[in-house]
Structure 1
């Protein structure tokens, strides 16, 4: 116990550390207060808006209901940073959908978080001004504006990383799914049941692609045309390999050719394509190894090989 007390005393005796601790704590409190006030004032205290949101978006799942409540509360806050151009809004909505954020309220939550982060980071910089006595007002406002800009851009960065992760997961899952789909179709299953069987088989190892394939089968069973359901799959994933598969299946169904033969040919071509990509990556290794060799390995080699001889030469010159 005494050691803990001594540690706290040493920590509190450091004035600089104490100041920045206060800044971090105050910034965290401001972030929580901004988020809480936006939820309470703009959502909970407005029963008309809450009821309209519940009527317009009927989500029975608990996750969907939570997203609906958050979006209903943050709707006015997101309106301040929503882009006016319809093209940009559609692009962000499409990126959110491809990244796995597929609730109808994802875009509102995304822009609301941009507003909250911008205000919170700018407030932290302004609150840190008493601990920076040598800074003038103009520089402080510039730093606050930069912090606000970081808050606005941070969700875009997170979205890009989530999109890259989703694309990588789908790219890794697609070869296994394609081979299973070929086996299922050649064994006599129709396209819809084959997609569902593949989704069931890969649901543990590749749940992201399994969900998309199950959605295709569900759309077909609900009455959506096969071509439309397959094109929706290509739009949801955005993976070029899946787009190629969808184009092949659509053409095969349109011209009446065998789906099994088309899948077999595409599987062989895709396997050759993966092999060529692997060979290309292997061929680049030699070039990529040049800089590590020159910067790290060659200097050490020269020190070990030439160092003793250089020391002997220096000693020989000193003895002259």
Structure 2
């Protein structure tokens, strides 16, 4: 890299490496946009757009809002080959990840990649502008310029991924915390004479205030069962969407109970008791790790003030005495 940097510096001056990086990035963006804009529209996309426009005109409604939404959708569809993974397995994995984060929209994967590229390019340009302005004083080195350009771009590119990962963790924690209570409520409904389908619908309605993510999953299960989908497939889909081990085990228990003809109420009673014990164990585990986490904070916030209080007067007296002796 040193000969290349020396050559760029000799040709373009001290800002040569930075200008080369910026020009290469702009060239890649220009080539990508030109390829995407020249892409021929798919005939099936035209057909679906025509059918949607006809149905919109037939049904009526707020035309301006629908037109604006359609324009945004068409703009995103132009870049769908660039924003959406073309491999089916990769797209399915990305789609599942967005669903587990709570984003169930049709264009969730496309919007995720759009924010990735837009934030990455935006912060890259912002870092480039800051580096150019700061380098006018001549105090910034070449390595510092490159870091100021590339690091913000990397942060902008990784920020949406970090956000989605945190959303998945929070949602899984919420589902795991509310699952024992939902099982207790489901057991009460089943023992009161309601069917399993009605129990799921009732639980989804009752726990929405405390655990909206879990209520949403139960509501999807209830709606799919009412639509005629097989219950086993619906429960397996729920376990895959939630991504929580407790729900996967619960689905297995329900499927085995239905297969072997055992009592669902008894299975719910045993599994609900096990989930309550597991929740208590998780709480105790967090409580046991709390003293270790607080040790460093306690030492940093307690020991320095204590040393100042105990040793401060003595240090002051020694300093005063040494001053008097020196005089």
- TM-score higher than 0.5: yes
Partner of 1:98: 100
Query: Are 1:221 and 2:223 counterparts?
Result: no
Partner of 1:257: 262
Query: Are 1:185 and 2:181 counterparts?
Result: no
Gaps of at least 5 residues in structure 2 are 1-28
Gaps of at least 5 residues in structure 1 are 1-33
The alpha-carbon deviation at position 192 of structure 1 amounts to 0.5
Contact 1:169 / 1:208 at 8 angstroms: preserved in 2? yes
The alpha-carbon deviation at position 316 of structure 1 amounts to 7.7
Q: Deviations over 1:275-320 (max 9, x none)?
A: 2222222222333332223222133233334544665677788889
Partner of 1:165: 170
- Whole-Å Cα distance in 1 between the matches of residues 254 and 245 of structure 2? 14
- Whole-Å Cα distance in 2 between the matches of residues 138 and 81 of structure 1? 32
Q: Deviations over 1:95-152 (max 9, x none)?
A: 1011111122211222222222233223333444552323688875664444433332
- Whole-Å Cα distance in 1 between the matches of residues 46 and 246 of structure 2? 42
- Report the secondary structure of 1:102's partner residue: coil
Contact 1:64 / 1:103 at 8 angstroms: preserved in 2? no
Q: TM-score, normalised by structure 1?
A: 0.72
Query: Are 1:120 and 2:125 counterparts?
Result: no
- Whole-Å Cα distance in 1 between the matches of residues 214 and 164 of structure 2? 19
The alpha-carbon deviation at position 221 of structure 1 amounts to 1.6
Query: Are 1:240 and 2:242 counterparts?
Result: no
Contact 1:71 / 1:109 at 8 angstroms: preserved in 2? no
Q: TM-score, normalised by structure 2?
A: 0.70
Query: Are 1:197 and 2:197 counterparts?
Result: no
Counterparts of 1:121-136 in structure 2, within 5 Å, are 121-128=123-130, 130-132=132-134, 133=136, 134=138
- Whole-Å Cα distance in 1 between the matches of residues 290 and 280 of structure 2? 16
Instruction: Return closer, same or farther for 1:259/1:287 CA change in 2, 3 Å cut-off.
Output: same
Contact 1:71 / 1:108 at 8 angstroms: preserved in 2? no
- Whole-Å Cα distance in 2 between the matches of residues 139 and 316 of structure 1? 49
- Report the secondary structure of 2:79's partner residue: helix
Partner of 1:77: 79
Q: Please, which moves more after superposition, 181-190 or 59-68?
A: 59-68
CA RMSD of aligned residues (A): 3.8
Instruction: Return closer, same or farther for 1:131/1:309 CA change in 2, 3 Å cut-off.
Output: closer
Contact 2:83 / 2:110 at 8 angstroms: preserved in 1? no
